Chains A and B, each alone.
Chain A
């Protein structure tokens, strides 16, 4: 069974640009979670999607947004990139109603120059 996949593996952008990160959950999982892992800040919860709806959001500005598609894959968009957005972005998935049984993907490393 395939795990959570994320693309691209690495992404390099310049300040002010937009970045789009993608995540495909484990087959059968309908919930997708996004986390930011920045140097020195640990893992911080960004967004949670379930059944196509945004269910919860962490303490991040509105330029961090996303969506979940009918096939349950998800996209994270970061607009007006700032240098401090450089981080590893991790996606996780779970069955609906099982938010504490999350399986993580390998992450997308975003570098903003």
Chain B
């Protein structure tokens, strides 16, 4: 079975600083990969997804992610964070018609 690891439970960055959230997956073939965001009291919103093709994927809200097969990684990046980016971020992988989620990384923004 596939699995997703988000090694950082919490990350704190200053507003305006760059951000990288880490995600590693285990899967033999090319996986379907996702990043979701969950704001307090909200459901999940899809930021971006990778199915195939260009390994650098652009998403909403200025986020991007890069698929690196050699490292089994799909890290999420943003060049300059805003206070409104404070939320929990979930990396996920598609397997057997269902989505398997990592345990999430909570992002805190310092003013």
A-side interface residues toward B, CB under 8 Å?
4, 33, 35, 40-45, 48, 55-56, 58, 90, 92, 99-100, 102-107
| Given A90-B43, A105-B43, A106-B42, A33 contacting B98 (CB threshold 8 A) | yes
Number of A-B residue pairs at CB separation under 8 A: 51
Contacts of A35 in B (CB 8 A): 101
Q: A48 near B104 (CB under 8 angstroms)?
A: no
28 contacts between A and B (CB under 8 A): A33-B98, A33-B99, A35-B101, A40-B103, A42-B90, A42-B103, A42-B104, A43-B44, A43-B101, A44-B101, A45-B99, A45-B100, A55-B97, A56-B96, A56-B97, A90-B43, A90-B44, A99-B94, A99-B97, A99-B99, A100-B32, A100-B99, A103-B46, A104-B44, A105-B43, A106-B42, A106-B43, A107-B43
Q: How many of chain B's residues touch chain A, expressed as a range? A: 20 to 34
11 other A-B residue contacts (CB within 8 Å) besides A45-B100, A102-B46, A106-B41: A43-B44, A43-B101, A43-B104, A44-B101, A45-B99, A48-B97, A55-B97, A99-B97, A99-B98, A104-B43, A106-B42
Whole-angstrom distance between the Cβ of A67 and the nearest chain B Cβ: 18
Docked pose: A107 CA to B41 CA in angstroms? 8
